[in-house]
Amino acid sequence: MNKKVIVIGAGPAGLTAALQLARGGVEVKLIESGNEVGGLAKSFDLWGQRVDCGPHRFFSSDKIVNDFFKSLIGADFTLVNRLTRIYYRNRFFYYPLQAKNALSNLPLFTVVEILWSYLKQRITPIKEPKTFEEWVVNKFGRKLFSIFFENYSEKLWGIPCSKIDADWAAQRIKKLSLWEAVKSAVFGNKGNTHKTLVDQFAYPHYGTGTLYERAAKAFVEAGGTLVLNKAVKRIVQDNNGKATGVELADGSIELADVVVSTMPLTLMVKGLNEAPTAVVEACNQLYFRNTLLVYVEVDALDLFPDNWIYVHSPEVLHGRITNFRNWCSTLNAHSTSSILCLEYWCFEGDEIWQQSSAAMGVLAEKELRKLNLINASHKVLNTHLLRIPRCYPVYETGYQAPLAVIKDYLTSIPNLLVIGRYGAFKYNNQDHSILMGLLAARQLLEGKDQQLWDINTDSEYQEKGAVAYEQSA
């Protein structure tokens, strides 16, 4: 392929595509608006330790994704024994479910309610569930939905579960069932390889961002050009609509034969030349959710054993807590303190998005003490706020229709590909985005359509092959 390619965004999808193209002999320029690579999966130094943007575990059963990971990380990773719990009504529930723990935490009457609600739903199921609420109630019964799905999901998405599309459930929890949960509780989790129930995950020694830092280094070594701190304003097109490069925020133009975009889909499309009114209106129907990450350094070593906790509790605003002390010892650099990360989700117009770093630090400490995850003897040493705009594409009911309008329009624009969580408006894990990048590069190098839009539309897509890791020394 004797062409120049510009890739917008050095997150998992963009960086992977750029690296593979450079390795294939293509002239590639990778343009990133920030000063680091990795996007939402980056790692960074904080108070003498290493942290990520919340919990990021690497898990894939797709061979080409695993091969990409191992080609860059080699033996420099640890297989972390996962411990994740759900906080609900001052109790902690192990996930996956453990019989003794669940039964001791729930009143017997509640257990009976769960089973009765489930049986009623099986007798009179919803034939074609269209919302997240209908899908989960259909699968587990309304009582279990109200305990373990409703509050957390509404915190995350900022809309009622009755307005969240069933696609979200179908992608994330398609293979789970109440019977599977009970079986897991009674017989353990042996032999279960479903990605939300895996017992271990691969984790690079110095944070999940190590994968992307090494990918960036390999990209430059392969002849690629990496440009940081340059924001792309829009994609440039010729008179026939063909993508011919990008315009940067400073007004300068970078020309190319092909553009691969991972910038937020709606922003990218609105910047195109004379996009039809129907396409612009479709963009206006899609929107993203923001995240506030509040890091809290506590003068303690053993606060709680979890990698992360899902907080299903309406009395606090945050929805998830990561404890980096429990991931990999190389992150902590022999420090005697622990770094926690609390996640708050919001829209740009919400009051909390405008809060100062100091105010969010005070709120995070207050909520940690309310949950008794830190007590009066624990001193908070430092807090830090990281704002991440437009990081969750919201699957509001019916989102497929406007997305289809945009997709059809984009497929008519020659030499333009969109990939990644932001770029394709898909709630990808990092392995999905890596796969998108790998296949986008393959499509350009081999000239064969790789059906990029289909990635992560069905949870079975990532169930091919077998995970093949060896424990690092």
Closest CA to 92 of 381, 388, 303: 303
Q: Inform me whether the pLDDT recorded for 460 exceeds 60.
A: no
pLDDT mean across residues, the chain: 89
pLDDT grade for 469, boundaries at 50, 70 and 90:
very low
- Residue 34 and residue 45 in contact, taking contact as beta carbons nearer than 8 Å: no
> What sign does the CA torsion over 333, 339, 345, 349 have?
negative
How far apart, in whole angstroms, are the C-alpha atoms of residue 88 and residue 68?
A: 38
Q: What is the band of 177 on the pLDDT scale with cuts at 50, 70, 90? A: low
* Residues counted in the chain: 473
**Single-letter amino acid, residue 69:** F
Query: Minimum mean pLDDT among 6-20, 157-171, 385-399: which range?
Result: 157-171
**What is 408-457 written as a DSSP string?**
HHHTTSTTEEE-HHHHTT----HHHHHHHHHHHHHHHHH-----GGGTTS
How many other C-beta atoms can be found within 10 angstroms of the C-beta atom of residue 189? 17
pLDDT at 97: 61
> Could you tell me the two tokens for 126?
């919803």
Instruction: Choose between 212 and 122: higher pLDDT.
Output: 212
Type and span of the H or E element at 50: strand 49-52
Element (H, E) at 80: strand 77-81
Over residues 151-175, the pLDDT tens digits come to 999 999 999 999 999 988 877 666 5
Strands (E), 312-379: 320-323, 338-346
The pLDDT of residue 61: 77
Q: What is the mean pLDDT of residues 299-325?
A: 95
Contact assessment for residue 296 and residue 365, using Cβ atoms and an 8 Å cutoff: yes
Fold annotation for 288-393 = Polyamine Oxidase; Chain A, domain 2 (3.90.660)
For residue 206, give both structure tokens.
């110095």
- Number of Cβ atoms within 10 Å of the Cβ of 208: 25
CA distances from 253 to 231, 245, 291 (A): 12, 7, 32
Specify the pairing of strand 320-323 against strand 338-346: antiparallel
Is 231 in contact with 248 (CB distance < 8 Å)?
A: yes
Categorize the per-residue pLDDT at 334 as very low, low, confident or very high, splitting at 50, 70 and 90.
confident
User: What pLDDT sits at residue 86?
Assistant: 93
Contacts 24+ apart (CB under 8 A), 253-258: 254/6, 254/29, 254/31, 255/4, 256/3, 256/4, 256/5, 256/6, 256/29, 257/3, 257/4, 257/5, 257/415, 258/3, 258/4, 258/5, 258/6, 258/415, 258/416, 258/417, 258/444
Per-residue pLDDT tens over the stretch 54-110 = 999 887 878 899 999 999 999 999 989 889 999 998 899 987 666 677 778 889 899
Mean pLDDT, range 9-14, rounded to an integer: 97
pLDDT at 422: 95
| Single pTM value for the model | 0.91
CA separation for the pair 136, 153 (Å, rounded): 11
The values of phi and psi at residue 292, to 5°, are -110, 120
Percentage helix, strand, coil, to 5, in the chain? 40, 25, 40
Q: Which of 99, 93, 57, 102 is nearest to 78 (CA)?
A: 57
Q: Which candidate, 351, 342, 339, places its Cα nearest to that of 311?
A: 342
The pLDDT-based confidence of 176 (bands split at 50, 70, 90) is low
- pLDDT above 50: residue 466: no
More confident residue, 95 or 346: 346
Neighbouring CB atoms inside 10 A of 34's CB total: 15
Report residue 24 as tokens: 């294939």
Q: Is residue 379 predicted with pLDDT exceeding 50?
A: yes
pLDDT above 90: percentage of residues in the chain: 76
Note the pLDDT of residue 280: 96
Please report, for residues 4, 5, 18, 27, 200, the alpha-carbon distance to residue 30 in angstroms, rounded to integers and kept in the order given: 11, 8, 7, 10, 33
In this structure, whether the domain defined by 4-42+61-74+206-284+396-461 belongs to CATH 3.40.640.10 is answered with: no
**pLDDT at residue number 103:** 75
Termini Cα distance of the chain: 40
Average pLDDT for 315-320 = 96
Peptide bond into 96 cis (omega under 30): yes
Domain range summary for the chain, segments of one domain joined by +: 4-42+61-74+206-284+396-461, 98-186, 288-393
